[in-house]
């Protein structure tokens, strides 16, 4: 007759004998319980908000390879500079080494992108061979029915200290300012750092109304925006 734990029945059960050599002390099961990384719930049900945050974090972490960066550079920087230069023929800019950032949001059948790139003022005359200082640009792109158009391309009053490479060698160790907590007084355009929702700031001017510079990017994306606006989505 078979028993659940039978050591004297004469049956050959090599695997179980090892496990059950000491009745009442199941070491492998005990170890499983004590493992620090054991997941009690392998597939927890997550809310849409948590899933969206997870996807956004994944996109933010994703590093682009150099060829992808070049494509992004050509698709974003060149049309944006063309847009800016066509509106300011006496103040033209050209592309300069630096990181291009772009963040997108889908709203009402339209894909909106905000981001930054680096450019420098075109020089003419005797000293035109000397490169002008680099400037951070803000851009806004709108994509509707497969057609992408530039809706803003604005030079910012921001020093560009980020590192860039020259023939593959990194130059400097600078970092770019993160604009995701930027808020502004809508009366005098004074800038405020508001790192979380609900934190109230008041400006010294009367009638002050401190709000996020961009509702799309606030506490989400590190884009630096023009304080006085000039873009269509998120103001």
Chain residues that interact with Zn ion, rule: CB under 5 A: 114, 185, 187-188, 190, 203, 205, 208, 214, 216-217, 234
Q: How far is the CB of 204 from Zn ion (least distance, A)?
A: 6
Residue 89 near residue 83 (C-beta atoms within 8 A): no
Spatial distance between the Cα atoms of 211 and 183, rounded to a whole number of angstroms: 5
Q: How far is the CB of 62 from Zn ion (least distance, A)?
A: 19
Comparing CA positions, the residue from 115, 119, 120, 112 lying closest to residue 101 is 115
Q: How far is the CB of 188 from Zn ion (least distance, A)?
A: 3
CA angle, corner 69, sides to 92 and 228, nearest 5? 45
Nearer to Zn ion, 93 or 231 (CB): 231
Spatial distance between the Cα atoms of 99 and 84, rounded to a whole number of angstroms: 19
Nearer to Zn ion, 118 or 120 (CB): 118
Nearer to Zn ion, 120 or 153 (CB): 153
Nearer to Zn ion, 93 or 112 (CB): 112
Comparing CA positions, the residue from 141, 135, 156, 123 lying closest to residue 79 is 141
Nearer to Zn ion, 96 or 203 (CB): 203
Spatial distance between the Cα atoms of 181 and 179, rounded to a whole number of angstroms: 6
Q: How far is the CB of 215 from Zn ion (least distance, A)?
A: 8
Spatial distance between the Cα atoms of 149 and 141, rounded to a whole number of angstroms: 6
Q: How far is the CB of 217 from Zn ion (least distance, A)?
A: 3
């Amino acid at each position: 007759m078979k028993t659940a734990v039978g050591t004297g029945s004469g049956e050959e059960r090599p695997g179980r004998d090892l496990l059950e050599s000491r009745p009442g002390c199941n070491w492998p099961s005990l170890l499983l319980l004590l493992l620090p990384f054991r997941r009690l719930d392998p597939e927890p049900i997550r809310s849409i908000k948590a899933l969206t945050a997870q996807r956004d974090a994944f996109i933010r972490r994703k590093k682009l390879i150099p060829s992808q960066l070049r494509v992004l550079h050509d698709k974003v920087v060149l049309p944006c500079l063309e847009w800016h230069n066509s509106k300011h023929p006496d103040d033209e800019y050209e592309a300069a080494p630096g990181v291009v950032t772009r963040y997108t949001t889908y709203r009402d059948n339209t894909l909106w992108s905000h981001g930054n790139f680096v450019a420098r003022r075109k020089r003419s005359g005797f000293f035109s061979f000397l490169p002008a200082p680099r400037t951070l640009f803000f851009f806004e792109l709108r994509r509707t029915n497969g057609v992408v158009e530039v809706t803003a391309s604005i030079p910012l009053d921001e020093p560009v200290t980020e590192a860039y490479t020259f023939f593959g060698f990194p130059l400097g160790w600078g970092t770019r300012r993160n604009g995701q907590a930027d808020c502004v007084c809508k009366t005098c355009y004074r800038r405020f750092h508001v790192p979380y929702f609900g934190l109230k700031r008041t400006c010294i001017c009367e009638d002050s109304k401190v709000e996020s510079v961009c509702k799309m990017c606030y506490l989400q994306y590190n884009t630096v925006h023009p304080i006085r606006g000039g873009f269509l989505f998120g103001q």
